[in-house]
Structure 1
């Protein structure tokens, strides 16, 4: 098997929990697409194959010192009091909770690479392939897949472990990403390959 890191990105309570801040949008798509169930099964398959697991979370200090006021996304976080580090909203959803030894990668922007520990983790573990999923498809997944591609990693997106705020957002993001990554259903991916 290739040295593989499975990145589970932004699957935090604020975004994906039914009672989270975005429960009516992202949360509804996550439930309708069975994203948490699919992701839980994919994590189990990855672990069984010996892949490493990394969780990416967007978090800010209580005063939002890392959040740019000019950002349409992150100024909304500040205004609505979400994505505060140390709160239940920034914890990974319990259905797919991390285990001992998994990587916790905290970010302050859309990209999982920008100013995070991801690149050192990839190098230190001699990762060749990044398998990824997350919420949102047109946000962290889109950004992460393009950057991973440009850093010469093999990139795989587990389509049924992703969601956008709407079905159209998800579909349009995937239409752009097939140039940069292999897009597969989670139960069709061969972790041993």
Structure 2
């Protein structure tokens, strides 16, 4: 399922939200051909392994998995072209996390997954009021997406083991901002389960 090119935010944003979470996988369909990629790829691979395990838990709960991926300047791209481009580079991150047929796929033109995309419309349609953010880079696209989600009053979990940056310092800096300023939970997936995270949160009204 692809919802990658809609730009309009509608009254759907005000729809009632259920106690349900979605897993967002941010920018992991990636060629790693940019400056600094050699530093980002190893921690991104570690994050990919943790994401793969987390998505299995999310799927068992019946929660949706949504890929939120940059268009990398290819304005005519759609899901299959972006995935094929990443897979052609034979990088282990894309191979490990290749989207499945029933995953949602949002294409974004900028850092935030909410900016000029269908994500603000899709989430209420799915009855989602909580978001688990994963992917790269923790201090750029994950951080900007978290900020926009926080402004829309989504509960956030950004597990420290499912995000990556070019350095641990930048990753920890971003996690600190998300925790202190956005109320995000940042416990790793081996310390907190999706069910336990959800049980800590107030029920959606």
TM bin (shorter chain): 0.7 to 0.9
Alpha-carbon spacing, 1:85–1:37, altered in 2? closer, same or farther (3 Å): closer
For residues 111 and 73 of structure 2, the distance between their equivalents in structure 1, rounded to whole angstroms, comes to 16
Summarize deviations over 1:62-101 as a string: whole Å, max 9, x none.
4x699xxxxxxxxxxxxxxxxx847513897120222122
The TM-score with structure 2 as length reference comes to: 0.74
Q: Which residue of 2 aligns with 1:52?
A: 64
Which residue of structure 2 lines up, in the alignment, with residue 168 of structure 1?
A: 169
The answer to whether structure 1 residue 3 and structure 2 residue 20 are counterparts is yes
What is the alpha-carbon distance in structure 1 between the residues aligned to residue 24 and residue 69 of structure 2? Answer: 10
Q: Greater strand percent: which structure?
A: 1
TM-score scaled to structure 1, two decimals?
0.78
Structure 2: 5+ residue stretches without partners: 1-17, 199-205
Q: Distance in 2 between matches of 1:5 and 1:50?
A: 9
Aligned to 2:39: 25
Corresponding position: 1:147 with 2:144: no
How many angstroms does 1:2 deviate by? 2.5
Does the C-alpha gap of structure 1 residues 177 and 162 become closer, same or farther in structure 2, counting only changes over 3 Å?
A: same
CA-CA distance at 1:13 after TM superposition? 2.9
Q: Distance in 2 between matches of 1:103 and 1:90?
A: 18
Structure 1 residue 169, shift from structure 2 partner: 1.1
Judging changes above 3 Å, is the alpha-carbon distance between structure 1 residues 86 and 171 closer, same or farther for their aligned structure 2 residues? Answer: closer
Aligned-residue RMSD, C-alpha: 2.4
Q: In structure 1, how many angstroms separate the alpha carbons of the residues matched to 2:54 and 2:69?
A: 19
1:187 partner SS: coil
C-alpha distance in structure 2 between counterparts of 1:5 and 1:42, whole Å: 11
Contact 2:44 2:135 survives alignment (8 Å) = no
Other structure's SS at 2:159 match? strand
5+ residue gaps in structure 1? 67-83
SS of residue in 1 equivalent to 2:31: helix
Q: Which runs of 4+ in 1 moved over 6 A?
A: none
Does structure 2 conserve the Cα–Cα contact (< 8 Å) formed by 1:128 and 1:154?
A: yes
